[in-house]
């Protein structure tokens, strides 16, 4: 039995019949297709999507942002659902590369279908074609190769039969997940072929829970039993595996403290006595202290980024050992760890049985509980007072007001600027989806697009996006899509007239915030040191269709949040905040190289500090 379809029609027909199942719960895998049509996909994939209205097409405004929307959707779905993104050739395709890198770095699934040049080559060079003098077998779509977990080009219709199952294998692989790119030459999309009917039958992709090697698990239990100051580092994998409950039971029973990465924050609730909060360069002072004393570090679903390890300057105990629980072998072996490879949830269940009645000493348990309370008291004070009584409002007060206002299951989204560091330290997470930070790629412009994707993934949750002026100016396009689709969320737009995070970093390396503020160019000095630019971000958001409310202090912000909750379309709360006042760091370092020679005294001093900090850096072998 065969069915005669175009390559594009066959692709959509296959994709809409793919399902995913874990723990007996079965769901349709794809939520639909985001896209922007051009000459490279309108006659092929565009026609196929029109012919298959049950595979819903969503009209987006920017190719990069549509991938961000798809990534946020997958993140809220715990990687058990995904979106397709299609573009034309040339700039439409290359605009998606940033989104592809973000997806792959964060281990989140998205299927990209960029149009491509003619496979026949007959009309070459076509509009927007990249030509090469050394080969004709290349296009801009080859740029997706290093940022994709799987890449293929369909030059003949029958190749689709073998490529589509591979696409799904990688998209649903817990250890190989990321962006998948299927390059679609524009002529081949329209070519017909007699595809086997079996290709289009319903297919359910089972996501298993791989169990660990038993001798390795026993060794991990021995290491933990012999430890005095163990600590858990909860990463995103702890949430994606649905291990929150067993992690809570494990930590409660053993008393082992739990610190969290950006992706792992929310794996445990902030007020549990074993919780030490954010860990690493932007962590709490108590989490850093515990990490430095730890003799056994149990990483759960973390890839140990330089923010988590403070550029390998924490975990100072000379005898520290690492146990890495991870479904990915690549991540499990980091830091010369004992690699416990498999699903986090089942590993914690089995490890708990092997540990029996093991628990840390009561003094250690009490110390952790005291630290939890002490940090909570500090957060309360910061939320109340900020860092200054001088207007404009502090970012910490904005964060605290939002944190106190939101419901337990609501979602806060952020990705870039100075907010991630403050949020990692301060945010009181009440649910595993309550804290949504993209900090693998820390991509400016992720935030607003992600608000759309998160709301589409779970309409039962209210979504609140914290976005700085820099991120807003880079990518605000999907406000329009949210209006078009009736998908409402709230954006807190913080304007401090500059790049606060990089400005602060510039100061720390002695460069005095050079090139980081939104100023006119001064005619006398030739530098960007004049008055602030007269850009009205609030009017801009309003022009895109959003409801805009301005807030100036805590009271007006609380009122704006109340109003946004009852509004029926996307709402932007515009707040002017201080460029200089953020929450301080706590004795942790993040390596940014400093110029070895400079005429600037401040750079010279920064290099001395850098050289000293390098001495605390370790190599784990």
pLDDT in tens, 173-189: 999 999 999 999 999 99
Q: Which residues contact 89 (CB under 8 A, 6 or more apart)?
A: 38, 39, 40, 41, 114, 115, 116, 117, 126, 128, 129, 139, 140, 141, 186
CA distance 440 to 168: 23
> Any idea what DSSP says for residue 46?
I
Between 527 and 570, the higher pLDDT residue: 570
- Are residues 330 and 313 in contact, defined by beta-carbon separation less than 8 angstroms? no
Q: Which two structure tokens, joined as six digits, stand for 217? A: 């698990």
pLDDT value of residue 388: 57
Q: How does pLDDT run across 358-415, given as a tens digit for each residue? A: 999 999 999 999 999 999 999 999 998 876 555 678 899 999 999 999 999 999 999 9
pLDDT value of residue 199: 98
pLDDT value of residue 546: 98
CA angle 24, 174, 347 (to 5 degrees): 75
Q: Is the pLDDT of residue 440 over 90?
A: yes
For 146, phi then psi, to 5°, come to -70, -15
Mean pLDDT of 128-152: 95
Mean pLDDT of 54-69: 97
CA distance 67 to 524: 44
Between 505 and 97, the higher pLDDT residue: 97
Mean pLDDT of 215-229: 98
- Are residues 236 and 408 in contact, defined by beta-carbon separation less than 8 angstroms? no
User: Which of 50, 49, 51, 39 is CA-nearest to residue 118?
Assistant: 39
Q: Is the pLDDT of residue 24 over 80?
A: yes
User: Which of 495, 450, 497 is CA-nearest to residue 476?
Assistant: 450
pLDDT value of residue 1: 95
CA distance 384 to 288: 24
CA distance 198 to 437: 41
The SS3 of residue 16 is coil
| 340 class by beta-carbon count within 10 Å (0-12 exposed, 13-18 middle, 19+ buried) | buried
pLDDT value of residue 109: 98
pLDDT value of residue 501: 78
Q: Is the pLDDT of residue 424 over 90?
A: yes
Q: Which two structure tokens, joined as six digits, stand for 373? A: 């309370």
Residue 326 pairs in a beta bridge with: 341
Q: Is the pLDDT of residue 26 over 80?
A: yes
Pairing assessment for the beta strands 18-22 and 25-28 based on DSSP bridges: antiparallel
User: Which of 149, 79, 139, 77 is CA-nearest to residue 114?
Assistant: 139
Mean pLDDT of 307-317: 95
Computed over every residue of the chain, the mean pLDDT equals: 95
Mean pLDDT of 46-51: 98
Mean pLDDT of 565-577: 96
CA distance 286 to 309: 15
Q: Minimum mean pLDDT among 69-83, 467-481, 545-559, 598-612: which range?
A: 598-612
pLDDT value of residue 389: 52
Q: Is the pLDDT of residue 506 over 90?
A: no
DSSP H stretches of helix in 475-586: 478-485, 500-508, 537-543, 554-566
Q: Which two structure tokens, joined as six digits, stand for 147? A: 């940022």
Q: Which residues contact 144 (CB under 8 A, 6 or more apart)?
A: 93, 96, 97, 100, 112, 114, 151, 179, 181, 183
- Is the sign of the CA dihedral 144, 150, 153, 157 positive or negative? negative
- 78: how many CB neighbours lie within 10 A of its CB? 17
The confidence band for 499, taking pLDDT boundaries of 50, 70 and 90, is confident
Q: Minimum mean pLDDT among 337-351, 460-474, 520-534, 535-549: which range?
A: 520-534
Q: Is the pLDDT of residue 578 over 90?
A: no
pLDDT value of residue 585: 82
Pairing assessment for the beta strands 192-196 and 2-6 based on DSSP bridges: antiparallel
The confidence band for 205, taking pLDDT boundaries of 50, 70 and 90, is very high
């Amino acid at each position: 039995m065969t069915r005669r379809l175009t390559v594009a029609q066959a692709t959509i027909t296959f994709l809409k019949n793919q399902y995913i199942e874990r723990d007996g719960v079965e769901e349709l895998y794809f939520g639909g297709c985001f896209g922007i049509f051009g000459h490279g996909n309108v006659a092929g994939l565009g026609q196929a999507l029109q012919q298959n209205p049950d595979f819903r097409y969503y009209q987006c405004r920017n190719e990069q942002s549509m991938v961000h929307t798809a990534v946020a959707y997958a993140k809220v779905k715990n990687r058990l659902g995904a979106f397709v993104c299609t573009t034309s050739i040339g700039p439409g395709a290359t605009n998606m590369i940033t989104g592809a890198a973000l997806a792959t770095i964060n281990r989140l699934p998205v299927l990209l279908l960029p149009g491509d040049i003619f496979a026949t080559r007959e009309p070459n060079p076509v509009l927007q074609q990249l030509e090469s003098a050394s080969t004709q077998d290349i296009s801009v779509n080859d740029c997706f190769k290093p940022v994709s977990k799987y890449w293929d080009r369909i030059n003949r219709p029958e190749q689709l039969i073998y490529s589509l199952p591979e696409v799904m294998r990688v998209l649903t692989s817990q250890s190989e997940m990321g962006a998948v790119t299927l390059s679609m030459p524009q002529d081949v999309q329209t070519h017909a072929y007699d595809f086997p009917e079996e290709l289009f039958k319903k297919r359910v992709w089972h996501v298993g829970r791989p169990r660990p090697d038993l001798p390795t698990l026993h060794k991990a239990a021995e290491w933990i039993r012999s430890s005095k100051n163990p600590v858990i580092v909860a990463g995103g994998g702890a949430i994606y595996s649905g291990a929150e409950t067993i992690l809570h039971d494990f930590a409660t029973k053993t008393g082992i403290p739990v610190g969290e990465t950006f992706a792992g924050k929310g794996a445990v609730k902030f007020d549990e006595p074993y919780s030490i909060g954010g860990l690493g360069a932007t962590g709490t002072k108590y989490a850093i202290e515990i990490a430095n004393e730890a003799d056994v570090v149990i990483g759960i679903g973390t890839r140990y980024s330089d923010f988590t390890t403070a550029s390998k300057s924490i975990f100072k105990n000379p005898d520290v050992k690492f146990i890495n629980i991870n479904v990915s072998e690549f991540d499990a072996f980091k830091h010369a760890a004992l690699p416990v490879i498999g699903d986090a949830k089942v590993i914690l269940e089995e490890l708990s049985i092997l540990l029996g009645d093991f628990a840390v000493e009561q003094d250690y348990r009490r110390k952790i509980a005291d630290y939890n309370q002490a940090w909570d008291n500090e957060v309360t004070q910061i939320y109340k007072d900020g860092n200054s009584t001088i207007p404009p409002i502090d970012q910490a007060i904005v964060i605290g007001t939002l944190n106190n206002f939101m419901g337990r299951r609501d979602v806060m989204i952020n990705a870039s600027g100075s907010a991630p560091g403050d949020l990692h330290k301060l945010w009181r997470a009440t649910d595993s989806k309550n804290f949504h930070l993209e900090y693998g790629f820390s991509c400016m412009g992720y935030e607003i697009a992600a608000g759309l994707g998160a709301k589409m993934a779970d309409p039962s949750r209210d979504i609140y996006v914290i976005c700085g002026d820099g991120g807003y100016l880079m990518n605000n396009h999907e406000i329009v899509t949210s209006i078009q689709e009736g998908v409402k969320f709230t954006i807190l737009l913080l304007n401090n007239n500059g790049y606060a995070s990089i400005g602060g970093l510039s100061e720390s390396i002695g460069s005095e915030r050079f090139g980081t503020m939104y100023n006119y160019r001064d005619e006398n000095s030739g530098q960007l040191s004049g008055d602030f630019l007269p850009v009205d971000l609030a009017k801009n958001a309003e022009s895109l269709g959003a409801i805009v409310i301005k807030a100036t202090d805590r009271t007006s912000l609380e009122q704006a949040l109340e109003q946004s909750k009852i509004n029926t379309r996307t709402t932007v709360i515009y707040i002017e905040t201080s460029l200089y006042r953020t929450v301080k760091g706590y004795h942790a370092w993040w390596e940014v190289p400093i110029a070895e020679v400079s005429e600037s005294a401040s750079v010279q001093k920064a290099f001395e500090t850098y050289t000293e900090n390098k001495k605390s850096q370790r190599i784990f072998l």
